[in-house]
Structure 1
């Protein structure tokens, strides 16, 4: 990964998923946004950014680009991402929600073949507090530190960051992998990244109803992660079969346990893996301090 203030960043597409306020916040935070891509608007200035028609034109002008933030219509995401990969961009953040599942399957296969890291879709992105902001996360909730936040949620990620900041627990990185049914990178991939990250001392994993990614993460933590991990599962009172946004669209498969994807199953998996779970966000700092002392 290249997540430093020197990383070259572009934005592909302007839509309702990103605003001039978000762009201004990223630039104010020190993120090196060098250009935007919006076919048909090449040569213009939008949100104080020079616009190119094609990604390859931006690469020809600025050289190697590290990260793209994709904000196009969901049905255009695959084309935008493949264009970025063809231009050797190896970090892709997809803000747009509701990308067709088959498009994501195709994108994931291409990303695996080219060693490309994909975050999202339906993600507010990544923040490395004090260094770089990639996406729409509110920077005011974060302070530099050693706690990594790994989440499927959007606004809940900010709430937990704020609780940590209030308790004096700064963050090394905060990543929302996205809350669509199929996302580009998994909890397991990011757990490995954070476990190897020297600036991360402990990890907060935030799950929610739908799918089985939390259960898989719990097993992986018990087998492979050495750093302390604190869990939080949202939606524990959600009725059976009710899921948030697109997270449950792949859960209704004939022959599966009727509790598949439920908060109950996720809590059981965390308990089996001996991962402390906070009952509410305000209790996460308490559990973290205990785990770090051990």
Structure 2
């Protein structure tokens, strides 16, 4: 079992003929992901790498290739339309890698996707990977290994760092999900924590948060209320000045609740072990796993 993606994933790549889309499609195929179709309007009838049919619409990719998951590599000005199209076509999981999607666009996209019964991961995210089985997005497959730790993160780069540190220490992962750092995203910490709690292959979870907003505080309350599995965490931006955006569009301190100190306090008060540096997660996680 895995969360969100796995052996039953049949992937369509929106923007497959573009620079980023084509590069990462090759990476996903080499990892073993079943890429069944690509979409680039006006290029229907072509094939990618001589094996993947390219369609003009997602609807055609679903009807003719049986796609059930989409990953989006299109410019920001087209990303909202790509998400709308995937939801309209009946795609159940939409992963939007594109960064720079306007907040106004996401205000329209999020309720639409939910009404269609689809799950959206992103935008501005690295996607998800289930080690040894499937990857959808840009997470590097060479740094993961199969194991019992679920990872959910707002930061793509820190996701890579934490995975690398755990793998180097011999601690594998059940699944890794980068949810993105924009103010409005489709899948949040609580969604992932609930999925990991219900996943029999996950024994412990690492949560990687950052300054801005209150998602980490909500996640901490969920952990205390709903989770039986141990959780450890790290908060990025501990030295960030107030009022200045740091990296992600959502990483800006606009009040006391958005500070790293407040998030760390919420984690600690709700039983989440907190690492002061990403590398410190290894020791915390090893201790939690030994206690499982």
Question: Same fold, TM exceeding 0.5?
Answer: yes
Distance 1:248 1:124 in 2: 17
Deviations 1:85-106 (A, max 9, x none): 1111010000001212122122
Q: Do the aligned residues in 2 keep the contact of 1:152 with 1:176 (CA within 8 Å)? A: yes
Unaligned runs of 5+ in 1: 253-257
Distance 1:78 1:215 in 2: 29
Distance 1:293 1:12 in 2: 43
Secondary structure of 1:266's match? helix
Distance 1:163 1:178 in 2: 21
The alpha carbon displacement at 1:279 in A equals 1.1
List 4+ stretches of structure 1 deviating above 4 A: 14-17
Distance 1:140 1:204 in 2: 19
The alpha carbon displacement at 1:185 in A equals 0.9
Unaligned runs of 5+ in 2: none
Deviations 1:3-31 (A, max 9, x none): 22342100111587825332211101110
Q: What residue number does 1:255 align with?
A: none
The more displaced of 140-149 and 105-114 is 105-114
Distance 1:207 1:168 in 2: 23
Secondary structure of 1:220's match? helix
Summarize the Cα distance change of 1:223–1:107 in structure 2 as closer, same or farther, 3 Å threshold.
same
Q: What residue number does 1:271 align with?
A: 268
Deviations 1:232-254 (A, max 9, x none): 111111122233221146x64xx
Secondary structure of 1:241's match? coil
Distance 1:218 1:58 in 2: 40
Match of 2:185 among 180, 183, 186: 183
Secondary structure of 2:174's match? strand
Q: Do the aligned residues in 2 keep the contact of 1:125 with 1:134 (CA within 8 Å)? A: yes
1:247 counterpart = 2:250: yes
Distance 1:15 1:245 in 2: 27
The alpha carbon displacement at 1:293 in A equals 2.4
Q: Please give the residue correspondences for 1:169-208 in structure 2 after superposition, counting only pairs within 5 Å.
A: 169-208=171-210
Distance 1:67 1:146 in 2: 25
1:259 counterpart = 2:261: no
Q: In angstroms, what is the RMSD of aligned CA positions?
A: 1.8
Q: What residue number does 2:98 align with?
A: 96
Secondary structure of 2:25's match? helix
- When normalised by structure 1's length, the TM-score is 0.92
Q: What residue number does 1:137 align with?
A: 139
